Structure 1
Amino acid sequence: MIESVQRYFEAHPESVRQAGEFASTTLAGWDIAERVDDIHLCVSELATNALVHGTVSDHGFLVRLDAEDDVVRLEVHDSRRRRPGTRQAADTDVSGRGLVLVAALADGWGVQDRTPLGKIVWSCFKTAGGTTA
């Protein structure tokens, strides 16, 4: 059985923290514990990217979580079509490592274009499979 939940967040810096809390609370409700830290960090990174690079002025972003069997899929929907990519940040850079972290923590990630405006950045995480209700 597929469990799915989504929530829209306003374009405010505190929304990144709220998105992480939303993910952690959702996973706890689904009885999925072993990847919570990885998923929480990836939500934070993808939400930050959406807020800083992916949203049209005054548009927020949507976080969606799906759980099926032994996989959790995280999606962050934003309103710009510009595709993100990993980059090699210098030791002195204070940003630019978000997608590198996502690639390291997730079992897969990618970008799906939406029409007419925006994109979905997704990542998947293998789990032991919770007892979804």
Structure 2
Amino acid sequence: MLEPLRQGLPPLDPAAVSDAASCALPARYEAVGDARRFTRGTLDQWDLSDRFDDVCLVVSELVTNALRHALPANTPRLPGQEPPVRLHLMRWTERLVCAVRDPSEESPVTRETDDFSAESGRGLFLVDSFSDGWGWHPMAGGLGGKVVWALFRLQRAGECPHSAD
């Protein structure tokens, strides 16, 4: 269900981006709350508040995974160094993409579990369940790390949520 993980974003015309916003997140777990607040404010500005619950859950999981798995506890943090995790939100007419960049070059790993009461280990399962698609890719050029993204389809203005095509 969750494979293949390594895939690029679906074809999206960069020139057609309606809106984009990003924020740097420090290497501490309080950054998950910062990411949720940033997402709430951005979706409010873009008049997408109705998508907040699903998008916020996915953003929380992606940022938590980046902080937990991409930044080992013993990684040195230098004063003045750019925060290692960045959240990007990009909106096209019919799509919203949430992307989290982190410094690790390790691929995301899904855990097979039947224990749905477990408090951890289900992050990518939740991302898969609440988004319309997701994947990851290594950073290009001289930049190290990777980007893990999730895609949400948006309704066209005036479109009924349950209309038959």
Establish whether TM, by shorter chain, passes 0.5.
yes
Structure 2: stretches of 5+ with no match in the other structure: 1-16, 78-82, 158-165
The structure with the largest alpha-carbon Rg is 2
Partner Cα distance (2:155, 2:86) in 1: 26
Bigger drift between 8-17 and 83-92 goes to 83-92
Task: Determine helix, strand or coil for the equivalent of 1:13.
Answer: coil
Bigger drift between 102-111 and 32-41 goes to 32-41
Partner Cα distance (1:3, 1:55) in 2: 29
Structure 1: stretches of 5+ with no match in the other structure: none
> Is the Cα contact below 8 Å between 1:89 and 1:95 reproduced in 2?
no
What letter corresponds to residue 56 of structure 2 in structure 1?
Answer: H
Q: Report the Cα offset of residue 35 of structure 1.
A: 1.6
Q: State whether structure 2 residue 147 is matched by structure 1 residue 120.
A: yes
Q: State whether structure 2 residue 133 is matched by structure 1 residue 108.
A: yes
Counterpart in 2 of 1:43?
59
Listed as ranges, the matches of 1:5-16 within 5 Å are 5-16=21-32
What letter corresponds to residue 112 of structure 1 in structure 2?
Answer: H
Higher share in strand: 1
Bigger drift between 15-24 and 108-117 goes to 108-117
Task: Determine helix, strand or coil for the equivalent of 1:109.
Answer: strand
1:57-101 CA distances to partner (integer Å, 9 max, x unpaired)?
Answer: 235300000001011000000000100032223526431000000
TM-score (norm 2): 0.73
Where has structure 1 moved over 4 Å in runs of 4 or more?
A: none
Counterpart in 2 of 1:4?
20
> Is the Cα contact below 8 Å between 1:71 and 1:129 reproduced in 2?
no
Listed as ranges, the matches of 1:62-81 within 5 Å are 62-81=86-105
Q: Paired residues, what number?
A: 130
What letter corresponds to residue 82 of structure 1 in structure 2?
Answer: E
